[in-house]
Amino acid sequence: MLTIALAKGRMQDDALELFARAGIVVAEEELKSRKLLVQSTDNRFQFVFVKPGDVPTYVEYGVADAGVCGRDVLMEANADVHEPLDLKFGYCKIAVAGRKEVVGQDYNLLATVRVATKYPNIATEYFHRKGIPIETVYLSGSVELAPLLGLSDRIVDLVETGRTLKENGLEVIDVITETTARLIVNRASFHLKRDEVSKLISELGNVLNK
Amino acid sequence: MSSLTKIPAGVQYFFDEEVRLRRHVEQQAMKVFAGWSYDEIIVPMFDYHDLFARGMGAERAERTYRFTDRDGALLALRPEMTSLVARTVATRFVQRARPIRLCYSGEVFRYDEPSERAAREFHQLGIEQIGQPSPTADIEVLLIAAELLKTIGLDEFRITLAHVDFFKGVAERFGSDEAKRANLRELIDRRNSIALDQFLQINAPDIAEERRQSFCQLTQIAGKAEAIAKARETLRNETSRTAIEQLAAIYDTLSALGLREQFDIDFGDAGGLEYYTGLTFKVYVPGWGTEIGSGGRYDNLISNFGKAEPAVGFSFALDGLVGARRNKNIALAAEASETIPLSDDQTRTFQSALALRKLGRNLKLQ
């Protein structure tokens, strides 16, 4: 049996729907229960529901053989896992944003930019690549508030439609990268459970190609 | 927080059964190495930083714990053993007959950013065989790795074989375009065959669709004889083809020795390109989420310290060996001991203790 870690929340529904289309179904009553560990009806898979940011950890350590999480989470965690499939759902951008006044302004290459973000690693990597010194302020939510209250000059955050930014008077300055949901697989499971893993990849791959 | 209750990140204390298990596994491993005529070498805990930079490359040597000697020279705690063994062989053992077989067991220290949770101190067990070219020496070290795993009770191991030239041959078409080579490598390493297919479609449009898809499948999943057959059909470049034949020769011998099940050919492993020059391999066992051992051929390393010589070796993480074994619930009881009661007559108490010890028996005074 393969253990699959799914990110709780909206991505969970999209992921389960994709698995269902590939014939991997979890019974309705199992999902309605508050169990954190449920099995597919054919007993081939066991699903665990964890916080999105924890999916790469479960998979990297091999307590889950595979997982579904956003590329943003994967990049931030810098997890050493295989990433065989782009599952196409959960599309977002990871962008640098700021108040309208700072859009188009050059960075002062000698002054440290203060950036509020849920993604300190992605933000640091991005600014360092540009040669701009950065100080990250870690926030776990409502990151848009930071520039409004003067906590930071810029933010690095997920942008789906841009509506939240707009309503708070912020604008995208630069798109760092795009993200979608990914199937990730533990490196050891990839070899030790090769038949099951390759079957899963081809079943999901077939649905995606339809 | 007091330093009495706090422990620096990445180091560990071991006691009770954990220690017995670690020592037991270590002894079993060293016995296997000795059984194949590998002599133990003890190398210093720290040496000049420059030595490690020469051996493993400047970038990896950055992750060492560094400090200065009394004369200001830059030192580093050893981050791996191979560089130290290689310099010994290239300098002190110049006159010795080849091949030279050496094994080691000891802690190495590495600082890996940004991972906060990672260990900084690892106990490694390994061997190096210097002076004999592929495939004889390659097969020898693979058999030793397999024997070690069986000896300590990890029978369900899987060793994946790869060859650095397989990837290098494919990447040759991108010449000096570093970005494209890195992109290709990343896609193969991540086993992302769909994105790989798209990448090749755009960047290598001369490859026919059928061959392109066949290559993508080949790099996605490891396999056995059928993978070799597929690779022969798919790859045209000389470098990759030579790599395939070298792997096939090794794999055929292993199969003939009854190890077909335990070994896989992994054409999707594009790692270790900076260090290795031929065969590379990784070891996986159930109950441990990462590779517990790895190795390969590094024919250029010794030349960093002297003249070029063929060399092959591997190292295992003791944490992995012990952890996987513990997950199989193979317990290791402490040896029984006899109790000697303490009495007012000190001389008599210790006389009976010494008498028991003379017979080689274990005792405990209480």
For CA atoms A81, A85, A90, A92, the dihedral sign is positive
Question: Do A6 and A82 share a domain, yes or no?
Answer: yes
Ordered by start, the domain boundaries in chain B are 9-157+285-334, 158-259, 338-366
Q: How far B290 CA sits from the closest chain A CA (Å)?
A: 5
Q: Rounded CA gap, A142 and A202, in Å? A: 39
Find the radius of gyration of the CA atoms of chain A: 19
Residue-range definition of the domain harbouring residue A112: 92-178
Question: Do A85 and A13 share a domain, yes or no?
Answer: yes
Convert B118-145 to b/e letters by CB count within 10 Å (16 or more is b). Answer: ebbebbbbbbbbbbbebbebbbbbbebb
Question: Do A76 and A106 share a domain, yes or no?
Answer: no
Best mutation target among A76, A186, A192, A204 (most B Cβ atoms within 10 Å) is A192
pLDDT at A209: 82
Which domain CATH number covers A29?
Answer: 3.40.190.10
Check: complex ipTM more than 0.95: no
Question: Do A135 and A66 share a domain, yes or no?
Answer: no
pLDDT at B195: 87
Question: Which tokens in the block code for residue B195?
Answer: 């994105």
Q: Which tens digit of pLDDT belongs to each residue from B38-54?
A: 999 999 999 999 999 99
Q: Rounded CA gap, A192 and B5, in Å? A: 39
CB of B168 within 8 Å of a chain A CB? The answer is no
Q: Which neighbouring-strand residues pair with A72? A: none
Q: Where are the beta strands (DSSP E) in chain B?
A: 39-40, 46-48, 66-68, 74-77, 100-109, 121-130, 158-163, 263-265, 279-284, 293-297, 311-317, 338-340, 363-365
CB contacts < 8 Å between A and B, how many?
62
Q: Which of A60, A194, A201 sits opposite B289 (nearest CB)?
A: A60
Number of domain units in chain A = 2
Question: Do A8 and A74 share a domain, yes or no?
Answer: yes
Q: Which of B220, B221, B290 sits opposite A62 (nearest CB)?
A: B290
End-to-end CA distance of chain B: 37
Question: Do A66 and A104 share a domain, yes or no?
Answer: no
Q: What does pTM read for this prediction?
A: 0.89
Q: Rounded CA gap, B351 and B365, in Å? A: 12
Question: Which tokens in the block code for residue A193?
Answer: 């459970």
Is there a contact between B289 and A186 if contact means CB atoms under 8 Å apart? yes
CB of A191 within 8 Å of a chain B CB? The answer is yes
Question: Do A96 and A166 share a domain, yes or no?
Answer: yes
CB of B186 within 8 Å of a chain A CB? The answer is no
Crossing angle for the helix pair B209-220 and B193-203, nearest 10 degrees? 140
Question: Do A61 and A85 share a domain, yes or no?
Answer: yes
Question: Do A19 and A66 share a domain, yes or no?
Answer: yes
Is there a contact between A83 and B115 if contact means CB atoms under 8 Å apart? no
CB of A201 within 8 Å of a chain B CB? The answer is yes
CB of B115 within 8 Å of a chain A CB? The answer is yes
Question: Tokens 């302020």 map to which residue?
Answer: A137
Contact assessment for residue B253 and residue B139, using Cβ atoms and an 8 Å cutoff: yes
Question: Do A14 and A86 share a domain, yes or no?
Answer: yes
CB of A63 within 8 Å of a chain B CB? The answer is yes
Which pLDDT tens digits describe chain B residue by residue (366 residues)?
578 888 888 888 999 888 999 999 999 999 999 999 999 999 999 999 999 999 888 888 888 999 999 999 999 999 999 999 999 999 999 999 999 999 999 999 998 765 555 789 999 999 999 999 889 999 999 999 999 999 999 999 999 999 999 999 999 989 889 999 999 999 999 998 888 999 999 999 999 999 999 999 899 888 899 999 999 999 999 999 999 999 999 999 999 999 999 999 999 998 877 889 999 999 999 988 889 999 999 999 989 998 899 999 999 999 999 999 887 776 677 788 899 888 899 999 999 999 999 999 999 998
Question: Do A67 and A122 share a domain, yes or no?
Answer: no
- In this structure, are strands B158-163 and B279-284 parallel, antiparallel, or unpaired? antiparallel
Q: Rounded CA gap, B342 and B24, in Å? A: 32
pLDDT at A34: 81
Which pLDDT tens digits describe chain A residue by residue (210 residues)?
999 999 988 899 999 999 999 999 998 888 888 888 899 999 999 999 999 999 999 999 999 999 999 999 999 998 889 999 999 999 999 999 999 887 777 777 778 899 999 999 999 999 999 889 999 999 998 999 999 999 998 999 999 888 989 999 999 999 999 999 999 999 999 999 999 999 999 999 999 987
The CATH code for residues B9-157+285-334 is 3.30.930.10
Question: Do A76 and A112 share a domain, yes or no?
Answer: no
